Chains A and B, each alone.
Chain A
Amino acid sequence: MKIKSSYLPYFLVLPAFAYLLFFVGYPLVQALYIAFTQNGQLSLATVRKTFADPYFWEALKYTIALAGVIVPSQVGLALILALGVNRVFKGKDFTIYALTIPLTISDVAAGLIWYSMLSPSGFLNKLLLNIGIINNPIYFFGYQYRHMEFLAIVLAELWRATSIVFVIILAGLQMISREYLEAAEVFGADYWTRLKKIVIPLLKPSIQSALIIRTLFAMQIFGIVWILAGRDIPILAGEGFYRLTELKEYDVASIYALVIAGLSILLGALYIKFMKAEYLEVKR
C-alpha cells in the first residue's frame, strides 16, 4: 500500500518526534544554562570548580577504563558464544534461553547477585576455602581493595550485558546465507578460512553496532558500580548523582551530565556513520 500522501504521515510522526525533541532538547539547553551561567551572567566558575575537583578526573578515568575493559571483552565473548551456539545441537533452545536471561536483569539486581557470589561470606570464597584452594577469604569490597572492586564490576557487567551483544551478533549470524558457506566448503575452505573470509566480514555491521551501543551505555554506567563499590570507584554518572542528590549542586551535576553527553555524541556520531538502517518496511 504505497500511498503518497502529503500530510498524513507527518501528522502521525509528529507527536512522537515532538515529545522526544522536548525531552532531549529542553534538558540539554537547561543543562548548558545551569552549567555556564551564574546569577544570570555567563560564567566559567562552575567548570573551574568541577575541573579542580580530583573526583572529576578520577570519574572520567574510571568511566573510560571500565568501558575500555568491559566492551571489548563483551564483544569478543559474545562472538565466541554466538558462533558456538549457531549450529544444531541438543539443548540449543535452552542454551539460548539461558544466555538471554541477563537481558532482563537490571544493573542493580546484577550488582546484588554478584555481591552474593563475591562477598567475604559469599559463594566463591566459601567454595574455594572448603576445597582448600585458599586459606583466607579473598576480599573484593572496601576502599582498600579498589582493584578487586574494579574486577568485581567487570565480572558483573560481563555477566549482565554480554547477552545483548550476543543477541545482536546471533541475529547477524542467522542472516548470513548458507549458500556462501556451502560454496566455500565445496571449494575446500576449512572452518577458520570460512570464518575469516566470509563470516566475520559479513558480521561487521552487527559487531560495529554492538560495539557502539555498549560503549554508549558504558558511558552512563551507574547502578552496578553504586551497588558494588559506591564512591570507592567514582564514575561520571555516579558523581553527577551524588552531587545532585547529596550536595544539591545542580550546576556541577549539569557539567557531569554534559561530559557524558559530549562523550556520547562523539560515539553516537560513529554509530550513525556505521549503522546501516535496513528495515523491513517499504523503500523509496
Chain B
Amino acid sequence: MNEETKFMLKRITFYTFIFTVVAWIIIPIIISTLYGFSIKEDYYNPEKILPTTFTVKYVKTLLITLGALEGIKNSVIVAVMTIAISFILGIPAGYAVAKFIFPGKDTIKLSIVALRMFPIPVMAIPLVILYIRLNLIDTLFGVALAHTAMALPFVVLITSSIFAGVSKELEEAAMVFGLTRLGSFFKITLPLALPGLAAAAMFTFVMSWNEVFVASILTLSQRTLPAQILSIMAGASGGAAPDYYKFAAAFIMILPAITFIFFARKYLVTMWGITLK
C-alpha cells in the first residue's frame, strides 16, 4: 500500500465516522417528526418504514383538545419570569464577581456553584409544603421561583465572565469623562455585554422550558408543557397515550429548542467552556 492510498483510506474512514455520528444524532429527530405527522395506518403498516401520507391531525388534537397550547403558553410565561427574576438577582452578583476584589469572593463564588449541585427533587418536594402555606401551589409564579433557584448560579457565572470580557479601559475612559460608575455600567458595559447576555437568557429559557420534575410537582391545573406532556404520555404506569400522539408531542417539544441552538451555537462552546471548566 503506497502513501497515497493510505491517505485516501484514512480520509474515507474519517468521513464515515463523522457521517455515522451526525446520522446517529439527526435520524431519530427526523423519524419522530415524520411519525408525528404520519397517519395511523402508515405507522402501523409493517411494510412501510417511512410514512407516505401525512396529516396534522394528531399535532392539532394535542395542541387544542389535550391542552398542549395552554402548556406552551404556561411554559413561556414561566421561562420569561425565570429570566427576569434570575437576571435581576444575577446581574449585580455577576458584575460584582467580575469587577471587584473583596475578601471572601472565592468562597462566595464556590458556594454559588455548590448550591447549584443541590438536586432538584430535594428542592421540590419540601417546597410543596411551603407553597401550600404561601398559596403559591399550582401557580406559574411558584414554578418560576423554583426555576430561578435552578438558573441563578448559571446566570451569575456566565454574566461574570461576560462582564469580565468587557475591557476596563473603556469603562475607565467613560468615568474619566464624567460618568459615574452606574452611568458607565449602563452606557458602556451593558451594551457591550448585551449579545452575551442574550445568549445567557436564551439558555435560561431552554433550561426552564425543559424542566419537568419541579413543574410536575408544584402544579396541577397550570402545567408547563413538559409537565403536561408527561402526565398525558405516562400516567403512573407509563404508556397511557397512543404512540402517534407521543411523536406529535416530541415534535412540539423540540422545535423551539432546536431553533434556539441554531441562533446560539456560536456562544455554546465559550459559554460552557468558561462556566463549567
Contact = CB atoms under 8 A, between A and B. Distances in A.
Interface of A: 1-5, 8-10, 12-13, 15-17, 19-21, 23-24, 26-28, 30-31, 34, 81, 84-85, 89, 91, 94-109, 112-117, 119, 121, 123, 126-127, 129-130, 141, 159, 164, 167-168, 170-172, 174-175, 205-206, 209, 213, 216, 219-220, 222-223, 226-232, 236-237, 240-242, 244-246, 250, 253-254, 256-258, 260-261, 264-265, 267-268, 271-272, 275-282, 284
Interface string B19-56: 00110111011011001000000011011110000000
A contacts with B: majority SS: helix
Interface residues of B, number: 111
B141 interface: no
Given A9-B105, A115-B246, A271-B117, A171 B32 contact: no
B149 A19 contact: yes
Best-surrounded residue of B22, B25, B172 (most CB of chain A within 10 A):
B25
A13 B149 contact: no
A257 B29 contact: no
Contacts of A261: 118-119, 122
Interface of B: 14-15, 17-18, 21-22, 24-26, 28-29, 31-32, 35, 43-44, 46-49, 89-90, 92-93, 95-102, 105-106, 108-130, 145-146, 148-149, 152-153, 156-157, 160-161, 163-165, 168, 171-172, 206, 209-213, 216-217, 226, 229-230, 233-234, 236-239, 243, 246-247, 249-250, 253-254, 257-258, 260-262, 265, 268-270, 272-274, 276-277
User: Main SS of the interface on chain B?
Assistant: helix
Given A117-B32, A245-B216, 20 more contacts: A2-B101, A20-B112, A30-B126, A95-B18, A99-B22, A99-B25, A100-B261, A104-B260, A113-B254, A116-B246, A121-B43, A141-B239, A167-B272, A172-B277, A175-B273, A246-B236, A258-B122, A267-B117, A268-B114, A281-B99
A164 B120 CA distance: 19
Given A121-B44, A250-B128, A15 B261 contact: no
Contacts of A96: 265, 269
A248 to B, nearest CB: 10
